[in-house]
Amino acid sequence: MYSGSMADSHSSDLYDAVNTWGVDDEFFLKFATSATAARVLDLGCGTGRVTLAVALAGCMVTGVDPDGPRLEAARAKPKAGRVEWIVGDSTVIPADYEFDAAIMSANVAQEILDDAELARSSADIAGQLVPGGRLAFDSRDPMARGWEAWTKERSHKIVKLPEGQSQHWYQTTHVDEANGPVEFCAHEVGVDGTENIGCDTLRFRSEEQLRTMLSEAGLVVDDVFGGFAGEPVGQGIGSLVITAHKP
């Protein structure tokens, strides 16, 4: 959500340039492709970074995201026709669709600020997984206080965009430790020196909250890791990496 005149396509290019392929993406790709030719739901698929990789690995993938411009950027990528893209949230997925696996990669859950909405999304996913179908998602662990690293000094990056290099960093602007919302701004200084600032809010939820939400949605939690290499909570990268299944 950048302010000013930043074009939607630039915002999506910037998102992809900042979020280059990493161990988290590898985790979700491996999770989604663990069953051959699985039907996979990628809820909150964004620009389709992971969605396309899962489809190209042979899965039938439905990518769903309420952000129309990001989905347009996904649709414009090579081989995007291998994915069914749907604009909206979990409520727009056709009722007769069934999935073997669902993913919400790169902290989608944190962008859903309202607890009731996240609970409904989880219940919708549970409703469309086949018995034995699995869900994986990540959410930053509030105990790790990741927002403290969102300063210019600690998060500054040079990113490569089609038009040249940009500087990018995050700055936390407000933290409500009692309730979880963290407000921050993403800063970009482009090749021509123009600064774009986009501000957003993320919700940090505890392991306990997420476990309760999944259980209320009818899902059984299999694992909660602290990082994408299976580290225990508190010893990884400050994430809660959660897998669950439908009984």
Ligand X SMILES: C[S@@+](CC[C@H](N)C(=O)[O-])C[C@H]1O[C@@H](n2cnc3c(N)ncnc32)[C@H](O)[C@@H]1O
Q: Looking at 13, 31, 52, 65, which residue binds ligand X (CB under 6 A)?
A: 65
Structural contact between residues 99 and 39, judged by C-beta atoms closer than 8 angstroms: yes
Q: Does 146 bind ligand X (CB under 6 A)?
A: no
Q: Give whichever of 120 and 211 is closer to ligand X, judged by the CB atom.
A: 120
Q: Does 83 bind ligand X (CB under 6 A)?
A: no
Q: Looking at 10, 39, 49, 134, which residue binds ligand X (CB under 6 A)?
A: 49
Find the distance separating the first CA and the last CA of the chain, reported in whole Å: 38
Q: Does 107 bind ligand X (CB under 6 A)?
A: yes
Q: Looking at 83, 108, 182, 237, which residue binds ligand X (CB under 6 A)?
A: 108
> Cα(210)–Cα(72) distance, rounded to whole angstroms?
31
Per-residue binding string, ligand X, 186-215, x by CB under 6 A, is ------------------------------
Q: Does 11 bind ligand X (CB under 6 A)?
A: no
Per-residue binding string, ligand X, 15-34, x by CB under 6 A, is ----x---------------
Structural contact between residues 139 and 112, judged by C-beta atoms closer than 8 angstroms: no
Burial 103-127 (b: 16+ CB within 10 A, else e): bbbbbbbbbbeeeeebbbbbbbbbe
Cα three-residue angle 167-170-174, rounded to 5 degrees: 155
Q: Does 43 bind ligand X (CB under 6 A)?
A: yes
Residue of 66, 74, 75, 70 whose CA lies nearest to 8: 70
- The 10 Å Cβ neighbour count of residue 194 is 12
Q: Which residues pair with 83 in a beta bridge?
A: 61
Q: Residue 6 burial (CB < 10 Å; 0-12/13-18/19+)?
A: middle
Size of the site for ligand X (CB under 6 A): 21
Q: Does 46 bind ligand X (CB under 6 A)?
A: yes
Q: Does 44 bind ligand X (CB under 6 A)?
A: yes
Q: Give whichever of 108 and 219 is closer to ligand X, judged by the CB atom.
A: 108
Site for ligand X in 152-181 (CB under 6 A): none
Least gap, CB of 108 to ligand X (angstroms):
4
Strand ranges (E), the chain: 39-43, 60-65, 83-87, 99-104, 129-140, 157-161, 164-175, 181-189, 195-203, 220-225, 239-245
Least gap, CB of 104 to ligand X (angstroms):
7
Q: Does 106 bind ligand X (CB under 6 A)?
A: yes
Q: Does 50 bind ligand X (CB under 6 A)?
A: yes
Which residues sit at the interface with ligand X, rule CB under 6 A? 19, 43-46, 49-50, 65-67, 70, 89-90, 105-108, 111-112, 117, 121
